[in-house]
Chains A and B, each alone.
Chain A
Amino acid sequence: MPTFEYAPAPESRSVVDLASSYGLFIDGEFRDSDGGSVFKSISPATEEVLAEVTEASAADVDRAVAAARRAYERTWSRLSGTDRGKYLFRIARILQERSREFAVLESLDNGKPIRESRDVDVPMAAAWFFYHAGWADKLEFASLGENPRPHGVVGQVIPWNFPLLMLAWKIAPALATGNTVVLKPAETTPLTALLFAEVCQQAELPPGVVNIVTGAGATGQAIVEHGGVDKVAFTGSTAVGKQIARSIAGTRTKATLELGGKAANIVFDDAPVDQAVEGIVNGIFFNQGHVCCAGSRLLVQESVAEEVEERLKRRLATLRVGDPLDKNTDVGAINSRAQLDRITELVEVGEAEGATRWSPECELPANGFWFRPTVFTGVSQTHRIAQEEIFGPVLSVLTFRTPQEAVAKANNTPYGLSAGIWTDKGSRILWMADQLRAGVVWANTFNKFDPTSPFGGYKESGYGREGGRHGLGAYVRTGADG
């Protein structure tokens, strides 16, 4: 097979105009912290400092919640659905207009390839606002129950893997249903959320409707445990999700939790192999595998296992790992040193437990956090790499003989977020889809998302849905609810 040489094709950084430091976005303005400290957001591809960011204190969270409460009572809850919707339409348009700026900043701060931030994260974030904008004045037609009305103040904590997109998933439905928001972006990826705060100003969104407080775990905890927060929405690890569920137990605070996963991507012997291989690659190497619904366990039917493995390796040899801003890059940087350590540790465990490790030859940049696309073969169900979420570009390959065995192996995990099926047989797809205990099932495709399509998990992958009519339901009270 020929190897192609690629000239560098970097996207220009000049479109991004970063300040050297950022305050907290509270009540419509960037403000200094009350007793909080400062931390740096770095580019994981180069380790250069991008900006200084504020670590919000408990007092800052108090101020943000109070601002959200005021905005809820004085302006946002008094606005008609039509007018709320128009603010969301404005935001959607501005995101589209500034899409290149957001894409470049996202790739800088997160490390993901510009191809993905440009083609997936940013356009879908805009789409999320467009979709929900239209719901704002139609809630009584959404079959959500009698008299749907907002909770009040919503506390939202989001992860670092899709910083702007997760922000959109959280803020758009909350605002459309008439809630106000205090949102904390992840500590390693706060910058697009801060740029989004500027978008709120540009859209002349009433002050306090959206508040963005940056910080780490303690700030997040202060938000979700705040007595003035009526609803919590969290995307992140299952361990933290359980803590949140415990901390709001016995209160009337509602929660939706979108947590971890260990999805099985199941390939049958009648699947079109080339398409399946593309699906496997997209399933686990999209966004460096930093995806809660990543297809991290490949279950391949024994009769085609050798062929699929061989073609997969051939395909992986063509993946380009490197500069996130290069338009030819397929796999970018690992988001942080801590995540790189976690991936490295689990991969070492995989080797120690006896699985066979393979990676394509590829040069990695000298600075920054990098991990080669990695495939483990000879993995058994009990291996930690088959059980634990690695959240990196690491695929575990297992085999099966019958559809029943595939189902049993796929479901043998405390998680239940997503699954993939590859086969030419329609009746088998539908049977498998019925049997799999997962909130999203992709058949002959993988990692597809849409604002109209409910997303969320079974079992320990959390509860509640995001997207579609179902996602709206998480942000309203109905009937006799207090």
Chain B
Amino acid sequence: MSRVDVRKTYKLFIGGKFPRSESGRSYEVFSAGRGRRFLANAAQGSRKDARDAVRAARAALPGWAGATAYNRGQVLYRVAEVMESRRTQFVAEVQAAEGVTAARAEATVSAAIDRWVWYAGWSDKYAQVLGGLNPVAGPYFDISAPEPTGVVAALAPQRSSLLGLVSVVAPIVVAGNTAVVLASEERPVPAITLAEALATSDVPGGVINLITGRTAEVAPWLASHLDVNAIDLTGAADAQDVSWGELEAAAAENLKRVLRPAGSDEQAVEPDFAPVPGLHRLEAFLETKTVWHPKGR
């Protein structure tokens, strides 16, 4: 007789801890592709879970934004090390979540880990690339440098369950922001495993918070939350019952910075995450600060 397996009920990741949803709800997650099979029960996050996550992200912000760029790079590189040690698990989960071949899942996980390393390396470089001395016409020292925007909410891509997720989250946090991430609704398992990798790495609690559940239910609360400074709507593409225009309109209430989903019209399209990204995701969540001081003897 075959062994009866131990099935896991996945939880949320807020403030470095793994709470169940305060709503007490969970939902069933199935594999994609042929032979739809039960994978796990995931927590169905609520408005209040989102608020708790924003509070955790806000509390973590001063420490994370104030850390040295070198330190942030080290901490994020450590995440890639932990991901590498969980490679087998990620491959199996991506294969099940996305309904792809083992070879394809291998390649995706490799790309996701490499993407994390790519962004980790930017921590102490983007400020020089994006900032600099301004040659003003007067006796002043004048310099511009990027700073984190603050608490960033992100709708993770619905289809690319790991590479897309990493491509969205890493640029937010490498710049010193803290994140509240809404995982892919139908494909949340690799995201939860990433949260477990984060919890066993050196990322301080609250820097990255992960909520699973219904995108259409939770996203509006993040878009309208007045203590969220920016929102990444990438995952609005292919999300059920989600209008990114309505989310963007709600975000206007406190003038959140909005990273719109890809596409050329009202239709949101999930981008191809395979190519090496540019800096636009980093820049979307940075503020330029300019400081002037007179020169004199």
Please give the residue numbers on chain A whose beta carbons come within 8 Å of chain B beta carbons, in ascending order.
127, 143, 145-146, 238, 241-242, 245-246, 249-252, 257, 259, 414, 429, 433, 438-445, 448, 450, 452-456, 458-460, 462-463, 465, 468-470, 473, 478-480, 482
Query: Which of B132, B135, B243, B294 contacts A250, CB < 8 Å?
Result: B243
Closest 9 CB pairs of A and B: A250-B245, A482-B264, A245-B252, A249-B248, A249-B249, A450-B136, A453-B134, A246-B252, A452-B134
A136 and B184 CA atoms in complex are apart in Å by 43
Which residues of chain A are near B249, meaning CB under 8 Å?
245-246, 249-250
* Nearest Cβ on chain B to A211's Cβ, whole angstroms: 26
| Contact across chains for A450 and B244 when beta carbons are under 8 A apart | no
**Segment at the A interface, from B157-165, B200-208, B210-218, B253-261:** B253-261
Residues of B within 8 A of A463 (CB): 255, 257
Scoring B245, B246, B253, B289 by chain A CB atoms within 10 A of each residue's CB, the highest score goes to B289
Given contacts A439-B287, A458-B287, A478-B278, contact A453 B136 (CB under 8 A): yes
Nearest chain A CB to B259's CB is how many angstroms away?
A: 12
Please measure, in the bound complex, the distance between the C-alpha atom of A460 and the C-alpha atom of B253, giving whole angstroms.
9
At the interface, yes or no: B292 with Cβ under 8 Å from chain A?
A: yes
Task: Tell me if B102 is interfacial: C-beta within 8 Å of chain A.
Answer: no
Pick from A145, A438, A445, A453: contact of B294, CB under 8 Å: A445
Which among B132, B266, B293 is the interface contact of A429 at CB below 8 angstroms? B293
Q: Is B134 a contact of A479 with CB atoms below 8 Å?
A: no
Q: Which residues of A contact B287 (CB under 8 A)?
A: 439, 458
Q: Does B291 contact A (CB under 8 A)?
A: yes
* A433 vs B287: C-alpha distance when bound (angstroms): 14
B279 CB contacts on chain A under 8 angstroms: 145
Contact A440 B265 (CB under 8 A): no
Question: Could you jot down 20 A-B contacts, CB within 8 Å?
Answer: A238-B255, A242-B253, A250-B266, A259-B255, A438-B289, A439-B287, A440-B290, A441-B289, A444-B294, A448-B136, A448-B142, A450-B138, A452-B135, A452-B137, A453-B134, A454-B290, A459-B229, A463-B255, A463-B257, A465-B288
Task: Give bound CA distance, A146 to B246, whole Å.
Answer: 30
Cα distance, A478 to B253, chains bound together (Å) = 28
B224 interface contact, C-beta 8 A: no
By a CB distance below 8 angstroms, the chain B residues around A143 are 129-130
Chain B residues numbered 224-261 whose CB sits less than 8 Å from any CB in chain A: 229, 243-246, 248-249, 251-255, 257, 260
Q: Is the CB of A442 within 8 A of B292?
A: yes
The residues of B that contact A250 with a CB separation of less than 8 Å are 243-246, 248-249, 266
B contact set with A: CB distance below 8 Å = 129-130, 132, 134-138, 140, 142, 144, 149, 229, 243-246, 248-249, 251-255, 257, 260, 262-266, 271, 278-280, 283, 287-294
| A454 and B134 form a contact (CB under 8 A) | yes
- How far, in Å, is A402 (CB) from chain B's closest CB? 17
- Which of A251, A443, A456, A468 is the one whose CB lies under 8 Å from B134? A468
Given contacts A145-B280, A450-B142, A453-B142, whether A459 and B290 have CB atoms under 8 Å apart is no
Residues of chain B within 8 A of A442, CB atoms compared:
291-292
Q: Inside 8 A of B135's CB, which chain A residues have their CB? A: 452
**Cα of A251 to Cα of B279 in the assembled complex, Å:** 23
A441 lies within 8 A of B292 (CB): yes
Tell me which residues across on chain B come within 8 A of A480, comparing CB atoms: 262, 271
Residue in contact with A454 in the complex, picked from B129, B283, B288, CB distance below 8 Å:
B288
Chain A residues whose C-beta falls within 8 Å of the C-beta of B293 in the assembled complex: 429, 443-445
Chain B residues, CB < 8 A from A245:
248-249, 251-252, 255
Q: Complex: how many Å from CA A452 to CA B144? A: 10
B residues within 8 A CB of A458?
A: 149, 287, 289
Question: B290 contacts A414, CB within 8 Å?
Answer: no
**Smallest distance from the beta carbon of B33 to chain A beta carbons, Å?**
28
Known: A448-B138, A458-B287, A482-B263. 7 other contacts (CB 8 A): A242-B253, A242-B255, A250-B246, A252-B265, A440-B292, A463-B255, A478-B280
Q: Which residues of B contact A469 (CB under 8 A)?
A: 132
Complex CA distance for A107 and B185, rounded to whole angstroms: 59
- Chain A residues, Cβ within 8 Å of B288: 439, 454, 456, 465, 470
Chain A nearest CB from B232 CB (Å) reads 15
Which residues on B sit within 8 Å (CB–CB) of A482? 263-265
**Complex Cα gap A90–B148 (Å):** 39
Chain A residues near B137 (CB-CB < 8 A): 127, 450, 452
Q: How far is the CA of A443 from the CA of B280 in the complex (A)?
A: 31
Q: Are A453 and B248 in contact (CB under 8 A)?
A: no
Are A462 and B134 within 8 A (Cβ)? Answer: no
Q: Enumerate chain B residues within 8 angstroms of A127, measured Cβ to Cβ.
A: 137
Are A433 and B289 in contact, CB atoms less than 8 angstroms apart?
yes
Q: How far, in whole Å, are A448 and B140 apart by their CA atoms in the complex?
A: 9
The answer to whether A146 and B278 have CB atoms under 8 Å apart is yes
**Distance (Å) between the CB of A101 and the closest chain B CB?**
23
Q: Are A252 and B252 in contact (CB under 8 A)?
A: no
Using Cβ atoms and an 8 Å threshold, which residues of chain A touch B292? 440-443, 445, 448, 453
When C-beta atoms are compared, the residue in chain A nearest to B296 turns out to be: A444
B245 interface neighbour in A251, A259, A438, A444, Cβ under 8 Å: A251
* Chain B residues whose C-beta falls within 8 Å of the C-beta of A473 in the assembled complex: 283
Contacts A252-B264, A470-B288 given; does A453 touch B255 at CB 8 Å? no
Given A250-B245, A441-B291: A414 and B140 interface contact (C-beta under 8 Å) = no
Residue pair B245, A460 in contact (C-beta under 8 Å): no
Q: A430's closest neighbor in chain B, by CB?
A: B291
Q: How far is the CA of A257 from the CA of B254 in the complex (A)?
A: 13
Once the chains are docked, how many angstroms separate the CA of A48 from the CA of B290? 41
Q: How far is the CA of A127 from the CA of B138 in the complex (A)?
A: 13
Whether A145 touches B278, Cβ cut-off 8 Å, given contacts A450-B138, A453-B142, is: yes
Rounded to whole Å, the gap between the CB of A166 and the closest CB of chain B is: 18
Residues of B within 8 A of A242 (CB): 252-253, 255
Chain A residue at minimum C-beta to C-beta distance from B275: A480
C-alpha spacing A456/B149, complex, angstroms: 13
From residue B49, how far is it (CB to closest CB) to chain A in Å?
25
Knowing A439-B288, A441-B290 touch, does A249 contact B257 (C-beta < 8 A)?
no
**Are B144 and A468 within 8 A (Cβ)?**
yes
Taking a contact as CB atoms under 8 Å apart, the answer to whether A462 and B136 are in contact is: no
* Distance, CA A470 to CA B287, complexed state (A): 11
Known: A440-B292, A441-B289, A445-B293. A470 touches B144 (CB 8 A): yes
Chain B residues positioned under 8 Å from A259 (CB to CB)? 255
Q: How far is the CB of A121 from chain B (nearest CB, A)?
A: 15
- Interchain CA distance A453-B129 in the complex, whole Å: 16
Bound-state CA distance A440–B292 (Å) is 8
Q: Which of B137, B246, B251, B291 has the most CB of A within 10 A?
A: B291
Interface centre among B132, B243, B290, B293, by most A CB within 10 Å? Answer: B290
CA–CA, A242 to B142, complex, Å? 30
Complex Cα spacing A246 to B197, Å = 38
B278 touches A450 (CB 8 A): no
